[in-house]
Amino acid sequence: HSHHMGIYHMDNSTMPPHHHMTTSHSHGGGDMMMMMPMTFYFDFKNVELLFSSLVINTPGEMAGAFVAVFLLAMFYEGLKIAREGLLRKSQVSIRYNSMPVPGPNGTILMETHKTVGQQMLSFPHLLQTVLHIIQVVISYFLMLIFMTYNGYLCIAVAAGAGTGYFLFSWKKAVVVDITEHCH
């Protein structure tokens, strides 16, 4: 396409080994070549964080981004645990289902299991829906941050998720049904 203005041709041998060229179309009709990292690297210069206007260029900016990403990953883990707790509290209807199971000597035993549900148009379910949307958006943000391949940001995601799990998951209630016969 020689009629486009501003086409840049680069030889792959001149690129750093952890970058890959991608083509981006600008509003002026031309194509711009951008380099995208394809392997992990530790640097703080010219690191885009989710948005083209969020560019890290100094060690201080990287430190701030590290803390922000760490807290976002921690919040994500806390949100997952909080949603589980809210779901347990909002479960409103309990039904009992019986099912036949084989017993000793060819006999048939009836086992009873509790099933729990909630109403679709209730406030707890609407709140769960909104929190689920927030959780999904944060999870994709964390994935995209990890996909920058920047080692500092990847460590922030992993460390924040681990810290969040450590701080919030110990409160998880383990429910043991003493009437349960299947092991």
Which phi and psi angles does 15 have, rounded to 5°?
A: -85, 150
- pLDDT per residue as tens, the chain (183 positions): 444 444 444 444 444 555 555 544 455 555 555 666 788 889 888 899 999 888 999 999 999 999 999 999 999 999 999 888 887 777 654 555 666 777 777 777 766 655 555 567 777 778 889 999 999 999 999 999 999 999 999 999 999 999 999 998 876 655 555 555 554
User: Would you put residue 106 in left (φ > 0), alpha (ψ -120 to 50) or beta?
Assistant: left
pLDDT at 142: 96
- Strand 47-49, strand 31-37: pairing: unpaired
- The model carries a pTM of 0.64
